[in-house]
């Protein structure tokens, strides 16, 4: 395995984004609003000038179980090996993840040279965080038929 390259001296910034596994997998989010924010240098991307490069997007390791910390560090290693200067936690991860602070601390401990930025884009105009959270909750938690429904239909 290759070694992580030393930081560059120029102002060019390399960043990664970590999204919420539940949002990306359950709702099929491909981070379009995060990417739009990056292109417009809005939200938490306002800190960068035009010399920024997105080198990767990863999902978190999911809500942690016994292996959560190890899985997260393994995923972050991918971005670290790509020599990122910063990892942005997606706005959905900030809004929904009760483990975000634990994840931030773990990344800071393992990769102290990588800046962890809490957030990506600004909320859409006219949408409060509470409205967004409720809308996503409604989408994720809507009743879906499952095998029990099929069995009950035939019994």
| pTM exceeds 0.85 | no
User: Which ranges in the chain belong to alpha helices (H)?
Assistant: 21-27, 32-40, 68-81, 91-96, 100-110, 129-140, 147-154
Phi, psi (rounded to 5 degrees) for 55: -105, -10
Q: Which residues of 101-122 are buried (b: 16+ CB within 10 A; e: fewer)?
A: eebeebbeeebeebbbbebbbb
Q: Cβ neighbours of residue 139 under 8 Å, at least 6 residues apart? A: 27
For tokens 């949002």, what's the residue? 23
Mind listing the pLDDT tens digit for each residue in 2-32?
555 555 555 789 999 999 988 888 888 999 9
DSSP state of 44: G
Sort 84 into a burial class: Cβ within 10 Å, 0-12 / 13-18 / 19+: buried
Mind listing the pLDDT tens digit for each residue in 83-137?
999 999 999 899 888 889 989 999 999 999 999 999 999 888 888 888 988 888 8
- Residue 107 is predicted with a pLDDT of 93
Mind listing the pLDDT tens digit for each residue in 38-58?
999 999 999 998 899 999 999
- Residue 3 is predicted with a pLDDT of 54
The full set of domain ranges for the chain reads 13-127
Which is it for strands 115-118 and 86-89: parallel, antiparallel or unpaired? parallel
- Residue 6 is predicted with a pLDDT of 54
CATH class of 13-127: alpha beta
């Amino acid at each position: 395995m290759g070694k992580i390259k030393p930081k560059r001296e120029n102002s060019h910034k390399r960043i990664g984004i970590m999204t919420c596994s539940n949002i990306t997998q359950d709702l099929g989010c491909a981070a379009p609003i995060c990417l739009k924010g990056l292109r417009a240098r809005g939200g938490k991307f306002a800190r960068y000038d035009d010399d920024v490069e997105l080198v990767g997007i990863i999902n978190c390791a999911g809500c942690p179980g016994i292996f959560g910390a190890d899985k997260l560090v393994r995923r972050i290693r991918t971005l670290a090996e790509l020599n990122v200067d910063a990892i942005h936690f997606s706005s959905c991860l900030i809004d929904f993840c009760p483990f975000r602070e634990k994840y931030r601390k773990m990344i800071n401990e393992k990769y102290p040279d990588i800046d962890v930025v809490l957030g990506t884009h600004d909320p859409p105009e006219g949408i409060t965080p509470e409205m967004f959270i409720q809308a996503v909750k409604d989408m994720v938690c809507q009743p879906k038929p499952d095998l029990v429904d099929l069995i009950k239909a035939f019994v």
